[in-house]
Structure 1
Amino acid sequence: MDGLSKGSPLSTTYLALWFRVSDEGLIEIRDKAALAFESGFASERGVTTWAGRMKKLKELGFISCREGSTGEFHYVLIVHPLVAVKKLLDEGIIPKGKTYNILSERVIEVGASWEG
């Protein structure tokens, strides 16, 4: 994931979202500053940096967002990560190679499915 964002790591933002998610995968973000802080962005530009990471997660297909009272990322749906990765593989954004092989081994090991 971080390798797809050219110097702007996404994993801390993604994990902060995962820590808030319920079984349905839907998060309502009422306090962007708190989520920015939880994502590791504590500076004055924290919310701006966080929003940039959210846009990249959306662009890559790891999240789906709907606008609400707090802006573009008020409602966030976490897409099953294997579904997002498979789409990126199919589009050629992620090349098959060592990283793909390691992920595939782990998918089999835990009994998961690429179909989510």
Structure 2
Amino acid sequence: MALLTTRKPRKKIAQRQLELRKKLWPHVTDGHLWQRLHHDGFATIPRTMPLILTIMDDLANGQPVSMTYLDLWGRAFDECFVTLSKPREMAFHSGFTGQRAERTWRGRIKLLAELGFIELQAGASGPMSYAVILNPYLVIRRLHEQKHVGSGRINITR
């Protein structure tokens, strides 16, 4: 049986970073900052998320899906699972307003599923009640192998 190891906190590095921040910006207090351990509504994202979002939009052929995906990511906890029970709110947070906001949002959700970035399940809110967010690196790698993503951007999955 293999032993699972956990990462040790990088306390020394974090302490040095904190000291440097205080030296460079002495006027900035903790109250001026968004500290994910002290606030609700946070999400941990890959450092390459901007590139991932750009690749998604390139794949979507003129129907940008990145803000819809980012809203889903922000709503997901460590389980990578989102309940899609507030389509109007989710559409607005994805940047869609007006009469067709929810319809446009649903189209983007469907496109994210077609591309393989999420999987959908039916439930009380209809055919798109739940979504699971899949590892974007693996999705992009698969799409690259299928010749949908150019090699210039694929290096993020290595």
Same fold per TM (> 0.5)? yes
**How far apart, in 1, do the equivalents of 2:69 and 2:127 lie?**
16
Q: Determine whether 1:67 maps to 2:155.
A: no
Unaligned 5+ runs, structure 2: 1-55
**How far apart, in 2, do the equivalents of 1:27 and 1:17 lie?**
7
The within-5 A match list for 1:29-48 is 29-48=84-103
Partner residue, 2:65: 10
Partner residue, 2:136: 81
Q: Percent same amino acid among aligned pairs? A: 38
TM-score when normalising by structure 2: 0.62
Give a deviation string over 1:41-97, Cα, whole Å, max 9, x none: 111100100011111100110000001111222110000111111111111111212
The partner residue of 2:154 within 95, 100, 103 is 100
1:100 is aligned with what amino acid? Answer: I
Give 4+ residue runs of structure 1 displaced > 3 Å after superposition.
none
The alignment yields a C-alpha RMSD, in angstroms, of 1.2
Higher RCO, 1 vs 2 (CA within 8 Å, ≥6 residues apart): 1
Unaligned 5+ runs, structure 1: 108-116
Larger Rg: 2
Pairs aligned (count): 103
